[in-house]
Structure 1
Amino acid sequence: MSQALIAMRDGQDAEAEPLLRALADEFPGFVSPRLNLGILLLRGNQAEAAETALRQVLQIDAENSVARHQLAILLRRQGRFQEALTVYTKLLEGKPDHALAHRNLGILYDLYLDKPRQALAHYKQFAALSADGEQETKMWIAELKRRIGAGEKLAAEVK
């Protein structure tokens, strides 16, 4: 396992993949080889194989937040937005302090589902949970507040 992780860290995915596959086959009840395989496959744009690996992790450990998060990212990238929303929601039900899930759910709401208020709530939650208070997130929050305010102003003018 350590060889596979070192290879992944060093960007040697072609070396890491067979090691992870062998470990996943040899130890089918262990999460780590299969989870890392899913991450590796997702990183390599092998969406179908990555989804299979991540769903297998969730069969072993239904509450695995890393697998859920990676699966939601994969689903969003594939345009399967409602499925991604379901996975993010389930993840945050079990782990409400998962900062990156809030960030990525904010992105999903903002860019793909056109729900700025929901996006704003998750960006704010991400900012509150992340230690560095990312500047980019602060800009997203300011932009969403501006867009929401402009939308409300326009709606009032139309009435």
Structure 2
Amino acid sequence: MKHPLFGKHALFGLLGAVAVLTAVPVAITVPAYAVDNIEGDDAPDLTAVKAKIDAKDYKGALADLRDLAQDTQQADVYNLLGFTLRKTGDYKTALTYYTKALELKPDHKAAREYLGELYVETGDMAKARQQLASLTQLCPAGCEERADLQKAIDTKVTK
């Protein structure tokens, strides 16, 4: 008598299960993030840095972010570096870091918003609108980043 686990039907069932598990991609639902939320699973803990930014301690935040950037190439770190530099008026270096963030993660919504805001602040409205168009593609139903950049553009245009 054959063992039931090694029967013809059990073998086909096992092979079928393996085929299904290896052929069907697993769908993962990713929640939408607010502008100040971290977008990647590989992000270092930026809680202390964000607290410094919220307190407008840009010098302290820059020191922490530069240390992090030496240890990791991560879009959220580069995005916050760009944001902090922009807030200190260093638009040229901020542009470099936003660009690095978007090279690593082209769909990084916060980097697109902040880069658009940099363009608004420097008067390059065409490039600001390009970032808004990218955000419209990334979140056609709307998102906080898109709304914030639209508001920045509208405010600049009406001044």
Higher-Rg member (1/2): 2
Unmatched segments (≥5 aa) in structure 2: 1-45
2:76 is the counterpart of 1:32: yes
Q: How does 1:101-120 map to 2 (within 5 A)?
A: 101-102=146-147, 104-105=149-150, 108=153, 111-112=156-157
Q: Deviations over 1:54-112 (max 9, x none)?
A: 11100000000000000001011111111111111011111121245235335536753
Q: Deviations over 1:8-29 (max 9, x none)?
A: 232222111111011112101x
Identity %: 17
2:143 is the counterpart of 1:82: no
2:117·2:152 contact (CA, 8 Å) conserved in 1? Answer: no
2:94 is the counterpart of 1:46: no
- C-alpha RMSD over aligned residues: 2.3
One-letter amino acid matched to 2:126: Q
TM (normalized to structure 2)? 0.62
SS of match in other structure, 1:73: helix
Higher RCO (CA-CA < 8 Å; seq separation 6+) = 2
Instruction: Give the ranges of 4+ consecutive aligned residues of structure 1 lying more than 6 Å apart after TM superposition.
Output: none
1:21·1:34 contact (CA, 8 Å) conserved in 2? Answer: no
Q: By percentage of residues, which structure has more helix? A: 1
One-letter amino acid matched to 2:48: Q
Unmatched segments (≥5 aa) in structure 1: 114-159
2:59 is the counterpart of 1:23: no
- Mark the CA change 1:32 to 1:102 in structure 2 (over 3 Å): closer, same or farther: closer
**Alpha-carbon separation, structure 1, partners of 2:47 and 2:154:** 37
Q: Deviations over 1:89-147 (max 9, x none)?
A: 0111111212452353355367539xxxxxxxxxxxxxxxxxxxxxxxxxxxxxxxxxx
TM (normalized to structure 1)? 0.62
- Mark the CA change 1:72 to 1:22 in structure 2 (over 3 Å): closer, same or farther: same
2:35 is the counterpart of 1:4: no
